[in-house]
A and B are shown apart, each in its own frame.
Chain A
């Protein structure tokens, strides 16, 4: 370790004091020290981008196991072409990057695309890709296999940002002769209801310092207006429609509570029913406090919805 000069020590103390002061004001630890471990990765965290949560880490690991299980059971399904994974509302890029880290040893070729509406998030996600490559937490392949783009996940025709479909047209992996497609769709969209943002269930530190854009869905969407879908559920509605359009074989959603998960499953079943594809899909809800099947699902903790397309329908 380098010798600390008296001046350097003074500087250090000053820095430490300012960090402690920031923490005492409630600034999230990850914004102060600048990163958060996520699996074996180190994810940089900056203001205006949501800090990845431990629950999301568990769900991502779980998703990677499901992907590998599917490939084991049916090696012929995706082998000829690279596995295509779409991460919507990617934020720091934590999910996309961790999936690459977990799958790269087992899968020869992949394309992982993270899409977020915030340009700050997209920039940070690309930085995280570089950062983890630099530290050797990701294989070099990740440089060409993981991408982040700015885009709109909702179908509210906001012309400021290109819609997911338009972004996908750029990527030959997701776009072939038969149209757009992807194998796995994973998303941790904003899922907090406007009233529970203010009623005390949302942490003060989260409310003040983390971006509201990534926490509470905005008001003006078609689904919200026409189909009487609760504001906190609109992302799932629009993302599931995209998933159906893209023919995703595995869909993983994180949502805020078991009650929300049940509501979202209902919404998704309606959409699938409308395209006469309800029978192809199997829905499961898993809780973050124990991903073993059969564990009791607690009411208030976040849950993940796993939607799998049966193998028979793919043939």
Chain B
């Protein structure tokens, strides 16, 4: 109870989407290329168990035993979630995680998770490309100014130029 609760980023982002508190969003952000739908898991393939310590429960105890564990029988994958205080929300989160895992196993690069990660990587790459371009242009501008303005100080400005990229990074 007293230990700080830190969630892996993937879980906490799931937790946020699963919470019923956010019942409206202003942006209906639909990317141009929509992600493929999540894999549907057959209920018959699942073993759902609610983890808790041994001993009595129910009215006798009021511990937050909301952790949910899912076992996918055909693949043997095990997924556990205790991201929220609610059992049913944890089950939802665990189902999503499990669906992603199974898909990853089946489809590899073509899976939803892989596509998502790939897209994020590309976005990051293009963003860093943009910053690099921006600073290169800034650099060129400064170079031109230096060349046209202070011809005598040439030696100093080249020294300055060499240092600049390190500061940017």
Interface residues of A (CB under 8 A from B): 23, 28-30, 36-42, 50-51, 53-58, 61, 135-137, 188, 190-192, 196, 201-203, 205-206, 210, 214-215, 254, 256-257, 288-292, 295, 298, 300-302
1/0 per residue B84-111: CB within 8 Å of A? 1111110000000000000000000000
A-B CB pair tally, cutoff 8 Å: 107
Q: Is B126 an interface residue (CB 8 A)?
A: no
User: What's the least CB distance linking B96 to chain A, in Å?
Assistant: 15
Interface residues of B (CB under 8 A from A): 1, 20-21, 23, 47-52, 54-66, 84-89
User: What's the least CB distance linking A292 to chain B, in Å?
Assistant: 6
Flag if A54 contacts B59 (CB, 8 Å). no
> Which secondary structure dominates where chain B touches chain A?
loop
A51 and B59 alpha carbons, distance in the complex (Å): 9
18 residue pairs A–B, Cβ–Cβ below 8 Å: A30-B62, A37-B20, A38-B86, A41-B20, A42-B20, A53-B57, A53-B59, A192-B60, A201-B60, A202-B56, A206-B60, A254-B58, A288-B57, A288-B58, A289-B51, A289-B52, A300-B54, A300-B56
Q: Please give, as numbers and ranges, the residues of chain A lying within 8 Å of B49 by CB-CB distance.
A: 289-290, 295
- Given A42-B20, A53-B59, A202-B61, 16 more A-B residue pairs with CB atoms under 8 Å apart are A41-B20, A53-B62, A58-B50, A61-B88, A135-B21, A137-B20, A191-B58, A196-B60, A203-B63, A254-B58, A256-B59, A288-B58, A290-B48, A301-B57, A301-B58, A302-B59
Across the interface, name the chain B residue whose C-beta is closest to A135. Answer: B23
Flag if B56 contacts A206 (CB, 8 Å). no
